[in-house]
Amino acid sequence: LQRVLPAFIAGMVVLSAVQCVTVQREVSKVQPQTAAEETEETEDYSGILPMSRNGKNVVVFMLDRAISGYIPYIFQEKPEIKEAFSDFTYYPNTLSFSHTTNMAAPALYGGYEYTPEEIDKRPDESLKDKNDEALSVLPVLFWQNGYTVTVCEPPYAGYQNIPDLSIYDEYDSISAYSLAGKFSQDADEETRTRQTQERNFVFYSLFKTVPVVLQETVYGGGEYMSLSDSNTEYALYTRHSTVLDNLTYMTEIVGTDGGEEENTFLILKNNTTHSPAMLSYPDYQTSGDFTEQYKHPERFTLPDGEHMNMDTDDQLKHYCVNVAALERLAVWIGYLKEEGVYDNTRIIFVADHGRKLGNFDRLLLDNGVDAESYNPLLLVKDFNAKSFTVSDEFMTNADTPAIAVAGLFDDPVNPFTGKTISSDAKHTTPLAITTSSNFQINKNNGNQFDTSDGEWYIVKDNIFDSANWERTTAR
């Protein structure tokens, strides 16, 4: 062992060095912005999100990794948030097809034709092309029907971590934006973000070098064995939360009462709920400390006695950013009401996936799966809705396109495949989810998903019942 260990360590050092060189070579391909380009990029974003006063507005808001089960507890703790969402339907029994964005988001954007299983049934096409197609289904469909269309942060567009907005270039009136970090450009935040990126380049090299069995530990949910630098976490969080702070600033009310009808469609992704950070209690507005959060455990038990486990720092940080996101969205909803563009707006708040956090005992299944990973947020307000309801209907986030287009078009079909956009597959086809953790698009980017590190399950009817999760063979 004394002879083998030094050799092993030396090998790891060499491999890490090679990976560092590889990463640096790839990074160097990304051209830095010139001062002029930087100035142009940070110009005024006011009014980029049009909302019609006299037509119909459809909004799909994808909150990455938003935790569905937190909703009752957030509403209990924050009655003002509950009031803002008083016309929504909450669907707690909602399933995602993966716990990673690269495999889960396509179905949210494009419907049941883009679940991991269905994507893999098209082996002659690249994952990049199929992902871009999924991201384009709703924008192009609404564009074809005369809607003013806006897209923000389409995940992995062009199969790039920074979305390639040129995938919409051929559609002359589809506006696309990347907003992350556009409202948090203070010097300290920029410095911390750059330091985090530089650090992560090194740790990503280590991550790529260690055996697969250790990769999840090294990755650490994106923190790469971080010592939980709260300043860095908070800086990353504000890159996304400040976008939500500026929703009213970015929204422009168009048209007049009785004027010519103008319809709008907005699909926007935001990572506030994907950026866990400890926030101040009870306002959740600034960076906070764990001590104050742990002093108030009563808010994690509902009047009927149902309890949410909130024993770890990671659980608390995820809860904090979910509260903060809903607080900001509640402000925007209030603004829509004040401006008279609420009743004529259909709003869908939905997540691509959840997170393995152990918050809910009833989601810890007999098969060892923490179904919290596959339980995304789904909150829907239809046109002129006037009451809050909780529906136990079995839903998936692939229902999002069908909900978005319901009743608007005579024959809503996928512009790229010609197939009808509907939720029928949920009732006629076994739904297969993958537990694979191969989320890296620079690695898992062939024509079919590499899910060799995970398992597959057929899930039906009720995600809270272990009997409804049937393990199956690789798809």
Cα separation, 8 vs 14, whole angstroms: 10
For the beta carbon of residue 373, count every other beta carbon within 10 angstroms: 22
Q: What is the predicted pLDDT for the residue at 184?
A: 86
pLDDT in tens, 387-401: 999 999 999 999 999
DSSP element (H, E) containing 471:
strand 469-472
Look at strands 456-459 and 431-434 and give their pairing. Answer: antiparallel
Residues 203 and 178: beta-carbon distance below 8 Å: no
Quick check: 436 and 98 in contact, CB under 8 A?
yes
Full-model pTM: 0.85
The count of other CB atoms within 10 Å of the CB of residue 289 is 12
359/239 Cα distance (integer angstroms): 26
pLDDT of residue 36: 34
Q: For residue 55, give the nearest of 251, 252, 257 by alpha carbon.
A: 257
Please give the Cα distance from 329 to 59 (Å, whole number).
Answer: 12
Q: Is 218 in contact with 12 (CB distance < 8 Å)?
A: no
Closest CA to 178 of 190, 165, 189, 197: 165
Q: What b/e sequence results for 20-33 when a residue is b if at least 16 CB atoms lie within 10 Å of its CB, and e otherwise?
A: beebeeeeeeeeee
Residue type at 243 in one-letter notation? V
User: In this structure, which long-range contacts are made by residues 34-37, counting pairs with CB atoms below 8 Å and at least 24 apart in sequence?
Assistant: none
With contact defined as beta carbons under 8 Å apart, do 183 and 242 qualify? yes
Token digits for 333? Answer: 């909803």
Helices and strands (H, E) in the chain, number of each type: 15, 15
From first to last of the 475 residues of the chain, give the pLDDT tens digit.
Answer: 556 566 666 666 666 666 655 555 554 544 444 333 433 444 689 999 999 999 999 999 999 999 999 999 999 999 999 999 999 999 999 999 999 999 999 999 999 999 999 999 999 999 999 999 999 999 999 999 999 999 999 999 999 999 999 999 999 889 999 999 999 865 344 444 555 566 666 666 666 677 765 666 666 555 555 544 567 899 999 999 999 999 999 999 998 766 678 999 999 999 999 999 999 999 999 999 999 999 999 999 999 999 999 999 999 999 999 999 999 999 999 999 999 999 999 999 999 999 999 999 999 999 999 999 999 999 999 999 999 999 999 999 999 999 999 999 999 999 999 999 999 999 999 999 999 999 999 999 999 999 999 999 999 999 999 999 999 986 6
Helix ranges (H only) for 302-384 are 313-338
**Per-residue model confidence (pLDDT) at position 223:** 55
Three-state secondary structure call for residue 154: coil
In this structure, are residues 115 and 107 in contact, taking their beta carbons and an 8 Å threshold? yes
What tokens were used for 475?
């798809």
Pairing of strands 89-90, 378-381: antiparallel
On the CB side of 157, CA atoms within 13 Å amount to 20
Grouping H, G, I as helix, E, B as strand and the rest as coil, residue 389 is strand
| pLDDT for res 255 | 86
Q: Give the relative orientation of helices 127-144 and 101-110 as an angle to the nearest 10 degrees.
A: 30
Gap between the Cα atoms of 263 and 150, Å rounded:
12
Find out whether 70 and 378 touch, Cβ atoms under 8 Å. Answer: no
